[in-house]
Amino acid sequence: MDNLVLSAAAGVDWPSLWLAVGLLVLAVALLVLELFVVSFGILLVGSIASALGAIHYAFAAHDAAGWAMAAVVPVLAVGLGRWGLARIRRSRTLVPKSEITAEAGYHHHAQAVGVHPGATGVMVTPARPSGRARFDGGECDVQVQSGSLGRGEKVTVLHIDGPIVFVAPAETHNTTS
């Protein structure tokens, strides 16, 4: 038995084995660093390259070391990946948590600038059929009910349907309809 261990140890290229272990440590360090630093995947690519280099040099050292390294690298990658994802999920600063508040839901920009049915404004751009109009509280995108409008024409809001603010020329608009 001792002869078998000595003969296996005698065939090992120790500098290659130490280089493989060093590359494996570098791969783990780069993968952990990827979880803390925004590198857009550059550190992950470096980690993968280091892991492949570790496997290569482990096979150069001895077949048994190469197969051991080929088995250890995926296990380490999966373990570190699971740990990193769990860490990110627990983090309050890395991932914003969603919550439902009283302000949840759809809010049209027209509400912010005070646009409502009957409000009047002036076209900032031509509307063929959509354009932009300025109201007392600000500007918003509008759509002409029918036809087109030129820049500077006065408009009246007819109604708001979802995200669309429908307008008509102010002088031809009849408020009884």
Confidence band, pLDDT 50/70/90 cuts, at residue 144:
very high
CB 143 within 8 A of CB 167: yes
**More confidently predicted of 97 and 15:** 15
Number of H helices and E strands in the chain, helices first, is: 5, 5
pLDDT at position 171 over 80: no
Each residue's pLDDT tens digit, 31-44: 888 878 878 889 88
User: Tokens in use for 149?
Assistant: 């409008």
155 bridge partner residues = 121, 169
The residue count of the chain comes to 177
Q: State which amino acid sits at residue 165.
A: V
* Contact in structure between 166 and 149 (CB atoms under 8 Å): no
Cis ω for the linkage preceding 129 (within 30 of 0): yes
pLDDT tens profile 61-119? 888 888 988 899 999 889 988 888 888 777 766 555 566 566 665 566 777 777 888 88
Exposure string of 37-47, with b = 16+ CB inside 10 Å and e = fewer, is eeeeeebeebb
CA-to-CA distance for 158 and 165, rounded, in angstroms?
8
pTM here is 0.47
43-57, pLDDT tens digit by residue? 889 999 999 999 988
Structural tokens at position 67: 């197969």
